[in-house]
Amino acid sequence: MNTTAGIEAIKLTRGFNGSQGVIYPTLIWDEGTAILVDTGEPIHLEAIRDAMEQVGVPFVRMNRIILTHQDIDHIGGLPGLVQASAHPVDVMAHEEEKPYIEGLKPLIKLKKELLQEKLNSLPEDQQELRGQIDLLLNHTPGGRVSTVLKDQDVLPYGGGLTVIHTPGHTPGHISLYLGQSKTLIAGDAIMYSEGKLRKPPEQFTPDMEQAIQSILKLAKYDVETLICYHGGVYPGNAKQALAELAAECR
């Protein structure tokens, strides 16, 4: 594995809340930095460590975290990751997501009452699931955001990383574009399931009209590799699939 620079979607399984089993944070690294884009949930800490080791980027190198948005399957792992790091981690998110991530505003979609109800109704022998729900209830929200991002910021990592504000799924949702490798990290602005790119699901997307505008915005980029948090790396011609999704949205 080339450890000088790279981009890798990390496959995580066994999530509980909203992640429907499989999610894909992305690791971006070069000589100076290792950035994790989205954190999974609290239970994923060890899996993230293992995945980083496997691509030749030891966990100790991780010095930045970018959060695409506030949903718990994206920020749930943040406190654990920051705590496990031997050095300070620069946590970055869009300015509009910062107050939610820092707990100044309640997360838009996390319904604690529902989680508590679920926990109460689970039999005692479901220890693993009980533990996961308990972690979610007691370890949210994620923690401090040290760097605030806005649309079209270009960060000097991975050969240049453009921040694209893609609201709709949440107000401060961002996607990331790496121009050098023509890689788009869509977050939840675009999902991939059952062989097809899709809009984010209506029930979890408070402003669908904005979400559609965000897809059209992303479709203007020259994309060779598309990584969706839900679905992973698009296996076919990403440019064409993105154009088809945009056409459906128009």
Residues that bind Zn ion (CB under 5 A): 71, 73, 188
The least CB distance from residue 169 to Zn ion, in Å, is 8
Q: Rounded distance, CA 202 to CA 222, Å?
A: 27
Q: By Cβ distance, which residue is nearest to Zn ion? A: 188
Closest CB to Zn ion among residues 57, 135: 135
Amino acid (one-letter) located at 97: E
The least CB distance from residue 18 to Zn ion, in Å, is 6
The least CB distance from residue 19 to Zn ion, in Å, is 7
Closest CB to Zn ion among residues 96, 188: 188
Q: Find the largest Cα–Cα distance for the chain.
A: 51
* Residues whose CB falls within 8 Å of the CB of residue 121, separated by 6 or more in sequence, listed in order: none
The least CB distance from residue 29 to Zn ion, in Å, is 23
Upstream peptide bond of 141 is cis (omega within 30 degrees of 0): yes
Closest CB to Zn ion among residues 19, 183: 19
Closest CB to Zn ion among residues 70, 183: 70
Closest CB to Zn ion among residues 76, 239: 76
* Residues whose CB falls within 8 Å of the CB of residue 34, separated by 6 or more in sequence, listed in order: 27, 28, 52, 57, 61, 62, 63, 64
Q: Rounded distance, CA 6 to CA 36, Å?
A: 12
Q: Rounded distance, CA 177 to CA 124, Å?
A: 45
The least CB distance from residue 178 to Zn ion, in Å, is 20
The least CB distance from residue 229 to Zn ion, in Å, is 5
Q: Rounded distance, CA 188 to CA 169, Å?
A: 7
Strands 34-37 and 26-29: antiparallel
